[in-house]
Amino acid sequence: MKHQRVQPDINEFMNKVKKMEQGEKLDLSSDEDLSIGIMNLISMEEHFFFTYSKTGDTKYLDLLNEIREMRKSALKRIIKDYEGEVWCISKHLLASSMRFMEVGTKALTKGDKNEAQIMFKNSYQLYSLFWGLNLGLLNTKDMKQTQSAQVAFISEDPKPTVKGSASMFEKLGQLVKKAIDCCKE
């Protein structure tokens, strides 16, 4: 089976982002903040579920439902167009990213930097996949599974801008680092 070249065109993507920002159609720094807020809402849903399960008090179900509606509304601001199960995949990518981040933070608190780094890397890879999926960086229609988890990107450049044989996660991570600047006011 012939492997398709999988090199994203970071410059073209960045130009696309700049054009969108100038037209005020996309504020990635706000969307990044919102995505972190959504992660915390998902965690709150989980905590209300477990608190209800432990106490049997139905007020926690009411709170869970209110938080769920808030999370759905916030998620709609980031995920505008989706097909199939992209909505659910996106929610689970954020939830998983948050959980890996929390496990990494706990490992760091215990002094286990190596475990923390592994967990933080996993968290960022999932977070990058969320953005790759929702910014249209992944051509999901043409995705083919390979042993190295390579995927086709929307834009491909005959002159690679990402050096080496980076994995899909590394490539997405590089794109996200360039595209999202949370310190932008």
Residues 80-107: pLDDT tens digits?
877 778 899 999 999 999 999 999 999 9
Asked whether residue 73 falls in the same domain as residue 161, the answer is: no
What's the whole-model pTM score? 0.68
Domain span at 67: 28-78
Residue 79 dihedral angles phi and psi, to the nearest 5°: -95, 95
For residue 111, the model assigns a pLDDT of: 97
Q: Do residue 65 and residue 122 come from a single domain?
A: no
**Which helix (DSSP H) or strand (DSSP E) does residue 46 occupy?**
helix 28-55
More confident call, 168 vs 1 = 168
110 in the same domain as 36: no
Query: How many other CB atoms are there within 10 angstroms of residue 18's CB atom?
Result: 12
Residue 156 has pLDDT above 80, yes or no: no
Domain count, the chain: 2
